Structure 1
Amino acid sequence: MATLSLCMIVKNEEKHLPGCLKSAKEAVDEIIVVDTGSTDRTIEIAKLFGAKSYYFKWDNDFAAARNEAIKHATSDYILWMDADERLNKADLNKLLALKHNLPLDKKTAFAVEIVNYRKGKFPETAYQTRIFPNLPNIKFKGKICEQISFSLAESGINFKVSNVKIRHLGYLTPQIWKNKLQRNLPILKATLAQKGTSEENWDIHYYLGISYLNLKEFSLAQEHLMQVLTKDCSFKNPSFYISAAIELAKLLKANGKDHQALQILLKLKSEFPQNDLVLCTLGKFLYEQKEYKKAIQALSQCQPQKIHLEVVPISKKDYIFEYYKYLGLCYEALNYMAQAITAFKKAIEVKPHSPYLIAHLCSLLLFKTNQIEEAIFYLIKGINLMEKRGIPTAKHEVYIALCLMLAIVFARQCRIEECVFLAERLLKSIRYPSVRLIHKLEELAAIYQEIGKYLQDKNLIWANLAFDTARQLLCLKV
């Protein structure tokens, strides 16, 4: 069986390093840790796990540091990880199975799925070559966003995708992500200045464009993303090309240049006619242009479960949610309510914590198709969701809409106790000062009238729902 070395570069990682080494140590035959200047307990911790530790003076070159690490490896294959990455138990077992079958001819490298976690968002996923043969001519390239794949390709190494996932915790908060972008910018700019204006620098332009985009420096982002759209990039790294084109189209649209944005997306579709992310993005854009039939045509060609960009991290679940949401909106705009409702339900399955879409779906079920029982199910689901997450006081417009739609249904069904309960919830949500006991149907109707007037004074669109509930309650008395 082939042997495997874990190679890492670290600096002041005493917080993260134990979790990483603990998760991976069972699968590797040796651990190589290259330290670039730690002042905490990083090296001490590495040695506790039996790691061989080395010092490398940091010179703003990630590839040089990684090459120093792999230089000391003695196993047949190398696995590289960062301190803020983890293998869970299931993926550790997958890695052990893969290790057991690593080809002894050392002619194959393996990609793993990297799962980037961000607080309050769906994870982003992409594939990276993380396991490769330990050969003297295999080196990392690139001072920043370093790659091993170029060297592997030059050496004729085959690539395979494994079923192993590595979980990355390094982008958990926006501030951590921002700090890393700001750290990388000077290295990227220096690298570009050193390389000059060659069209082959599209990779540096890509990283600069995405960095500026995330730092909200949109004019600089646009400038660099335009430099990515070269034939060389399209051929060598379609994922970068597609990602840059989509982000550029979004920037142009945000600046009111819809025609230019559309031309970029249409050209992208002609170049990559079967790419699901391209089709999904084009469909969304066409919906926003009110080209509903063309949007449905593009979306219908898309297979949402296959949306990915291989080496570029994207939130797959977000895109699948957007796919079904915009497909539903297109059908709704064309008055195909059954198809719209089906699409919205699928979107909610992907992202259950979607109170706005739940409220929209309920309005169709109630007022367009008269599917009362299904409406009740989703209304209760939405109300409970918002209450569990503490949303009513912070974003209460949707909560009010859900409660009022449910109140109308219950009023029509003569379920007075439920209407009282919903009135109390509504009064609490809008912090209405006149909370009083409700003894009679007229008093309950008056409460809903007061809620309607309050919402009307606040220019909230749901006021009419409150008035309709009050009228429905008064009709019961008659």
Structure 2
Amino acid sequence: MITISLCMIVKNEEHTLARCLDSVGDIPDEIIIIDTGSTDKTKTIAATYTNHIFDFQWCNDFSQARNYSFQQATQDYILWLDADDMLQPEERKKLLQLKQTLQPSVDAVSMLYHVAFDEYQNVITDTRRIRLVKRSKSFQWVGIVHEDLQLDTTYVHQASDIIVTHASEKKTKSRRNIEIYEQALRHNQTFSMQDVFHYARELTVHGEYEKAIPFYETCKTAKEISLENRVFVYHQLATCYAMMNEIEKEEEITLQSFQLDVPQPVFCCRMGESFIRKEQYEQAIFWYTVALEMKPLSRYEWSIQQDIYRTWLPHKQLAFCYYQLGEYEKSYHHNQNVLTYLPDDPDTQKNVAFLQAVQQKG
């Protein structure tokens, strides 16, 4: 059986740290906590779980802090988590089984990451990340913010179905990440393509769409960007243009995305929306149906997935389109499907009640 060091970097995480550590239980053989300047009870809480607590002088670079945490590890493998991550009980069982059965020839294990949820606890954003690595392989963290693990040589990877859940209690968007990037720019720090990609994402999240566009344009042709992330770049570009009400540019980017790979659900939905704007409902139905029927491609697990484009959103738009065409039974069917994801959605509930009445009269 392998041994595991859990490595974490923390700052002012008194509300979530215990939950995270309790969720993994005694599976880690050692816990390494790197504190980057807490002023609350974080270190006191950490001390009830481990003696391995280290201070790190914050330098506006998450990868340096992560690498420092890995340097303190002494066990066979290193697991990393953030303080607002956790494992649900079933996932903890899977992690224990992995610990008991993992072959020493495996250098890295990836896990699914459920990043964000809606009010009904449907997963709305998810991805896959390397979570467990062999210490002797000396994986390195790269990236100022939204850091990632890299190894310059080939390595043996195992994909796990373990799910790590991001359960942040922070309700407001912090500008911390943007400020870190912009300080680096002011100091003429060289950005990796990963940094460019994530800086553009941060700008988009904070509504700075026009500023984000040239950074996405840089990523469009960069060889360092994987196919699945390149497709995501096109999605983000289209989003920026849509939010700036430059609809022709949004549609242009959507069509360009089809040259990269088979049409992904997000772009199928964009095509559907384009035809709705033109009141061409049959064409819109075609694209929303494709979005629903497309089977997920495993390689896209490594990109940022937004599940609404293959779940309730196409159903909601199909319900609207069929209603416009007078096909009330089909509209009713798709409204009912929306309620399986959004059971308390008032508009959909009204639609269902109205369509029931229409069908009864008919």
Aligned position for 2:189? 194
Partner SS, residue 7 of structure 1: strand
Where relative contact order (Cα < 8 A, 6+ residues apart) is larger, the structure is 2
Q: How does 1:109-188 map to 2 (within 5 A)?
A: 109-117=109-117, 122-123=122-123, 124-148=125-149, 150-151=150-151, 154-170=152-168, 172-173=170-171, 175=172, 178-179=173-174, 182-188=175-181
Q: In structure 1, give the amino acid aligned to 2:239.
A: K
Partner SS, residue 113 of structure 2: strand
Q: Which of residues 367, 370, 389 in structure 1 aligns to 2:360? A: 370
The CA deviation string for residues 60-85 of structure 1, in whole angstroms up to 9 with x for no partner, is 11111111111111111111011122
Relative to 1, partners in 2 of residues 1:97 and 1:285: Cα closer, same or farther, differing over 3 Å? farther
CA offset at residue 7 of structure 1?
Answer: 0.4
Question: 2:319, 2:331 within 8 Å by CA — same for their partners in 1?
Answer: yes
| 2:221 is the counterpart of 1:247 | no
Distance in 1 separating the partners of 2:219 and 2:209: 16
Q: Which of residues 355, 363, 367 in structure 1 aligns to 2:346? A: 355
Q: In structure 2, give the amino acid aligned to 1:82.
A: D
CA offset at residue 318 of structure 1?
Answer: 6.8
| Runs of at least 5 residues in structure 2 that lack an aligned partner in the other structure | none
CA offset at residue 13 of structure 1?
Answer: 2.2
Question: 1:117, 1:168 within 8 Å by CA — same for their partners in 2?
Answer: no
Partner SS, residue 348 of structure 1: helix
Relative to 1, partners in 2 of residues 1:230 and 1:191: Cα closer, same or farther, differing over 3 Å? farther
Question: 2:113, 2:166 within 8 Å by CA — same for their partners in 1?
Answer: no
Q: Which of residues 272, 288, 292 in structure 1 aligns to 2:261? A: 272
| 2:291 is the counterpart of 1:281 | no
Q: In structure 2, give the amino acid aligned to 1:195.
A: T
The CA deviation string for residues 84-119 of structure 1, in whole angstroms up to 9 with x for no partner, is 221121111111011112121243432232343566
Question: 1:109, 1:133 within 8 Å by CA — same for their partners in 2?
Answer: no
RMSD, aligned CA: 2.6
Distance in 2 separating the partners of 1:277 and 1:51: 47
Q: Which of residues 267, 285, 300 in structure 1 aligns to 2:289? A: 300
Partner SS, residue 166 of structure 1: strand
Q: In structure 2, give the amino acid aligned to 1:370.
A: Q
Q: In structure 2, give the amino acid aligned to 1:273.
A: V
Aligned position for 1:42? 42
Distance in 2 separating the partners of 1:326 and 1:337: 14
Q: In structure 1, give the amino acid aligned to 2:17.
A: L
CA offset at residue 262 of structure 1?
Answer: 1.2
| 2:321 is the counterpart of 1:326 | no
Distance in 2 separating the partners of 1:252 and 1:202: 22
Distance in 2 separating the partners of 1:348 and 1:117: 16
Rg comparison, structure with higher value: 1
CA offset at residue 304 of structure 1?
Answer: 5.6
Relative to 1, partners in 2 of residues 1:83 and 1:156: Cα closer, same or farther, differing over 3 Å? same
Question: 1:304, 1:320 within 8 Å by CA — same for their partners in 2?
Answer: no
Partner SS, residue 194 of structure 1: coil
Relative to 1, partners in 2 of residues 1:42 and 1:231: Cα closer, same or farther, differing over 3 Å? closer
**TM-score, structure 1 as length reference:** 0.68
Q: Whose helix fraction is larger, Structure 1's or Structure 2's?
A: 1
Relative to 1, partners in 2 of residues 1:351 and 1:162: Cα closer, same or farther, differing over 3 Å? same
Partner SS, residue 26 of structure 1: coil
Relative to 1, partners in 2 of residues 1:166 and 1:305: Cα closer, same or farther, differing over 3 Å? farther
Distance in 2 separating the partners of 1:274 and 1:318: 12
Aligned position for 1:382? none
Question: 2:265, 2:309 within 8 Å by CA — same for their partners in 1?
Answer: no
Relative to 1, partners in 2 of residues 1:310 and 1:75: Cα closer, same or farther, differing over 3 Å? same
Aligned position for 1:384? none
Distance in 1 separating the partners of 2:323 and 2:156: 48
Question: 1:79, 1:132 within 8 Å by CA — same for their partners in 2?
Answer: yes
Q: Whose strand fraction is larger, Structure 1's or Structure 2's?
A: 2
Relative to 1, partners in 2 of residues 1:103 and 1:34: Cα closer, same or farther, differing over 3 Å? same
Percent identical pairs in the alignment equals: 25
Aligned position for 1:28? 28
Aligned position for 1:14? 14
Relative to 1, partners in 2 of residues 1:310 and 1:66: Cα closer, same or farther, differing over 3 Å? same
Partner SS, residue 195 of structure 1: coil
| Runs of at least 5 residues in structure 1 that lack an aligned partner in the other structure | 373-478
Partner SS, residue 170 of structure 1: coil
**TM-score, structure 2 as length reference:** 0.88
